[in-house]
Amino acid sequence: MPTSASPRTGRGYPLAVTVAGALLMCCAVLPWAGLQATSSLIGGSVTGDVRGVDDVYGVYTLVTGLAAVACGVAGLRGHPRLAALAVVPGGVAVLLLVLFVSQGSGLRDRVSIHLGDLLSIEPVIRFGWFAALASATAVVVLALLTLFHRRRPWPRGAGAQS
* Domain of residue 92, CATH code: 1.20.140
pLDDT of residue 34: 84
Residue 40's domain comprises: 10-148
pTM: 0.78
SS (H, E, C) the chain: CCCCCCHHHCCHHHHHHHHHHHHHHHHCCCEEEEEEEEECCCCEEEEEEEEHHHCHHHHHHHHHHHHHHHHHHHHHHCCHHHHHHHHHHHHHHHHHHHHHHHCCCCCCCCCCEEECCCEEEEEEECHHHHHHHHHHHHHHHHHHHHHHCCCCCCCCCCCCCC
pLDDT at residue 6 in the model: 45
**Tell me: the pLDDT tens digits for 94-134?**
999 999 988 866 555 566 777 777 787 778 888 999 999 99
Question: Residue 38 falls within a domain, yes or no?
Answer: yes
In this predicted model, what pLDDT tens digit does every residue of 2-12 receive, in sequence order? 444 444 446 78
- Whether residue 4 lies inside any domain: the answer is no
22, part of any domain: yes
- How confident is the prediction for the chain on average, in pLDDT? 82
Q: Which residue has the higher pLDDT, 5 or 55?
A: 55
Q: Please report whether residue 5 resides in a domain.
A: no
Residue 17 pLDDT level (bands cut at 50, 70, 90): very high
Look at the chain and report how many structural domains it folds into: 1
Residue 161 lies in a domain: no
